[in-house]
């Protein structure tokens, strides 16, 4: 018994191969239940945290156009860059914790999380100039002086939020790999309630203006962290959290390299779409183009909460099964994830095609903007469909530890094919925002999806399971 009696359980679903548990339908149902135990809370959590920014922008919108523009560009460019990089680096834990959990090396999960805290905190220190010099940086990116100056001032009020990312992302992945998802879902929802209440108090009652609207983000995100941290350190994770350990300071260089690969892999995708917005700002009638593209990206952003949750869930399931030595089960988990996410993507694509005018009215009543959104509807629908597949395949890559390989694929697909094709269609063929978006989507995202699909289909899952077992032993000795 000993250590096994202290091991965390998956409540109703054990981490085991279910390849012989009845027919295909029965196996699909069992795997789906295991997958949705991760994905369901993750979707609610992502929608809640995404709403933090939406609520802040809504309050800022009643303060004035400059305040709204400053807070929006600050959240989108500065915090968005920061968020994407640190989130990507934390995804290394999906590989390490997922495989360690599958291999029943439970105590290593807490050690890995502490290593991630150290690495991400140091990265936050290195990224601090991003907030200190936010104003001049936004001026270089072509923002109006009054917007850049206000955003630069407000950036100082977001430094606590910046450092919160070092702790929140590792905590999420630590809990996620154990299928303890309810705690971060409820923590995110409590954070949202606090965010709405404090935003109203700061902006409407105390009249703190843009500073009040911005500073509230610090409070809501730290409420989110405290909920997960208290649960983790006060007995909610027996076996996987055994207290602070000096082991966390060993093997940091190897851990940093894996984290950097994960960060590059995901950030190359995140930055790609931000380049799309920046390129649109240099077009004729840029205001209409940017407004229309922002509406489309807002719709896509809400919808992306679903495939990004599949990204996380797939990474955990694949890593768990590979760590347990179940190559066939990892393959089946991949198939179930891809099929389910694609089916959901098809449904949402149809909804957008049918109700795009009604959806766009939530964001704007300007006829030129609405007409421009209508012209982009087909591209938006195809983007949604592609995004229902690509994140799942990226999740397989993270669960299998292929981050470095995928980073090279992303560079080739996005920046050697997609971006040049988008520039060509914009500047040479004068196709405007439609051209640059189509070029970047079909030249970059579609190409990356096809390559990942081929790699996944040709994968030898039994060899991956053997490799994962060696990987777990190696990291447990570091």
Task: State residue 228's pLDDT score.
Answer: 92
What would the pLDDT profile of 436-446 be if each residue is shown by its tens digit? Answer: 778 878 778 88
Q: How far apart are CA 431 and CA 276, in angstroms?
A: 14
The count of domains in the chain is: 2
* CB-based contact 93:176 (threshold 8 Å): no
| Domain residue limits at 311 | 262-478
What would the pLDDT profile of 133-169 be if each residue is shown by its tens digit? Answer: 988 988 887 777 887 888 889 999 999 999 999 899 8
Shared-domain flag, residues 327 and 188: no
Residue 13 included in any domain: no
Residue 31 included in any domain: no
Shared-domain flag, residues 69 and 212: yes
Please report which confidence band the pLDDT of residue 368 belongs to, taking 50, 70 and 90 as the band edges.
confident
Shared-domain flag, residues 219 and 291: no
Shared-domain flag, residues 364 and 222: no
Shared-domain flag, residues 241 and 334: no
The conformational region for residue 14 under phi > 0 = left, psi -120 to 50 = alpha, else beta, is: beta
Shared-domain flag, residues 272 and 361: yes
Residue 255 included in any domain: no
Task: State residue 195's pLDDT score.
Answer: 92
Residue 161 included in any domain: yes
Q: How far apart are CA 97 and CA 268, in angstroms?
A: 24
Residue 225 included in any domain: yes
What would the pLDDT profile of 386-404 be if each residue is shown by its tens digit? Answer: 888 888 887 777 666 676 7
Please report which confidence band the pLDDT of residue 257 belongs to, taking 50, 70 and 90 as the band edges.
confident
Interval 346-368 mean pLDDT: 79
Residue found by looking up tokens 């995004």 in the block: 387
Q: Which of 191, 222, 250 is the last residue of a domain?
A: 250
**Whole-prediction pTM:** 0.73
Interval 85-91 mean pLDDT: 80
What would the pLDDT profile of 15-39 be if each residue is shown by its tens digit? Answer: 444 555 567 888 888 888 888 888 8
Q: How far apart are CA 427 and CA 128, in angstroms?
A: 36
Shared-domain flag, residues 281 and 220: no
User: Does the structure show a pLDDT above 60 at 419?
Assistant: yes
Q: Which of 250, 274, 308 is the last residue of a domain?
A: 250
* Of 386, 254, 256, 394, residue with least CA distance to 318: 394
Shared-domain flag, residues 271 and 236: no
Shared-domain flag, residues 297 and 416: yes
* pLDDT > 70 in the chain, percent: 83
Shared-domain flag, residues 283 and 224: no
Task: State residue 472's pLDDT score.
Answer: 61
Q: Which of 250, 272, 291 is the last residue of a domain?
A: 250
The conformational region for residue 369 under phi > 0 = left, psi -120 to 50 = alpha, else beta, is: alpha
Task: State residue 41's pLDDT score.
Answer: 85
Task: State residue 1's pLDDT score.
Answer: 34
* CB-based contact 120:170 (threshold 8 Å): yes
């Amino acid at each position: 018994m000993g250590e096994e009696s202290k091991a965390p359980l998956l409540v109703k679903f054990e981490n085991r191969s279910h390849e012989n548990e009845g027919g295909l339908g029965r196996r699909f149902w069992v795997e789906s239940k295991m997958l949705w135990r991760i994905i369901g809370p993750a979707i609610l959590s992502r929608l809640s945290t995404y709403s933090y920014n939406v609520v802040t922008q809504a309050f800022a919108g009643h303060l004035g156009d400059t305040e709204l523009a400053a807070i929006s560009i600050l959240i989108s460019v500065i915090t968005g860059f920061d968020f994407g990089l640190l989130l990507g680096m934390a995804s290394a834990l999906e590989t390490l914790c997922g495989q360690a959990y599958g291999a029943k090396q439970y105590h290593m999960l807490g050690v890995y999380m502490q290593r991630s805290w150290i690495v991400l905190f140091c990265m936050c220190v290195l990224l601090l100039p991003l907030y200190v010099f936010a104003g001049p940086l936004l001026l270089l990116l072509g923002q109006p002086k009054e917007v850049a100056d206000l955003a630069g001032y407000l950036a100082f009020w977001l430094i606590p939020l910046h450092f919160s990312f070092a702790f929140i992302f590792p905590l999420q992945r630590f809990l996620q790999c154990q299928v303890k998802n309810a705690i971060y879902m409820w923590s995110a929802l409590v954070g949202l309630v606090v965010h709405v209440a404090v935003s109203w108090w700061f902006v409407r009652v105390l009249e703190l203006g843009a500073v009040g609207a911005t500073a509230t983000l610090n409070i809501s995100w730290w409420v989110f962290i405290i909920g997960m941290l208290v649960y983790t350190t006060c007995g909610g994770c027996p076996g996987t959290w055994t207290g602070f350990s000096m082991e966390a300071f060993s093997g940091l260089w190897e851990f940093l390299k894996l984290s950097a690969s994960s960060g590059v892999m995901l950030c190359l995708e995140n930055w790609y779409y931000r380049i799309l917005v920046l390129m649109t700002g240099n077009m004729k009638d840029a205001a209409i183009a940017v407004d229309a593209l922002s509406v489309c990206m807002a719709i896509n952003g809400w919808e992306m909460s679903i495939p990004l949750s599949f990204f996380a869930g797939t990474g955990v399931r694949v890593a768990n099964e590979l760590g347990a030595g179940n190559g066939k089960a990892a393959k089946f988990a991949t198939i179930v994830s891809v099929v389910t996410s694609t089916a959901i993507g098809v449904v949402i694509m149809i909804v957008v095609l049918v109700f795009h005018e009604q959806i766009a009215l939530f964001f704007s009543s300007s006829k030129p903007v609405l007409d421009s959104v209508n012209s982009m509807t087909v591209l938006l629908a195809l983007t949604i469909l592609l995004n229902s597949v690509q994140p799942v395949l990226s999740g397989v890559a993270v669960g299998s530890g292929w981050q470095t390989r995928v980073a090279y694929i992303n560079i080739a697909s996005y920046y050697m094919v997609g971006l040049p094709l988008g520039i060509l269609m914009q500047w040479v063929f004068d196709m405007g925002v439609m051209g640059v978006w189509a070029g970047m989507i079909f030249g970059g995202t579609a190409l990356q999806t096809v390559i990942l699909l081929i790699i996944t289909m040709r994968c030898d899952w039994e060899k991956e399971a053997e490799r994962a077992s060696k990987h777990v032993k190696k990291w447990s000795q570091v």
